[in-house]
Amino acid sequence: MMQTHRHFLIHKPFGYLSQFVCELPKKKLLGELYDFPEGTMAIGRLDEDSEGLLLLTTSGVMSERARSSKIEKEYYAQVDGEIGEMALDQLRNGVQIGIRNVKYITKPCNVTRLMFAPILLPEQKNT
């Protein structure tokens, strides 16, 4: 019997972790936003202090396919303040990030400073 999977596009609010299970107490998780089916997982992640479009799926195959380096991805990031050329060059060449206390260098990428910001939802900080 073929298993039916579900896929979701959500706006992850500020203050939530991009996961459904967490050992840390008092953290807000995606499962609190909606009654997602069992086995739902985020494709990628947004940090707790960021917000934006997030893809969710119940299919591990779909998750692996979307996260694969064979699929080109494009992101828009809005930052507080001005970002200088040195920071843009660091992004272009790869930056160090940490996931579960393991350090990684991101792959080099194309970075372009937009002259005009797209219209986004207002930031929704939970205080």
* Residues forming the active site: 47
Rounded distance, CA 98 to CA 74, Å?
A: 21
Q: Distance between terminal CA atoms of the chain?
A: 47
How far apart are alpha carbons 28 and 14 in whole angstroms?
10
Give SS3 for 103: strand
Contact 40, 14 (CB under 8 A): no
Question: Please, where are the H alpha helices in 4-116?
Answer: 60-67, 85-93
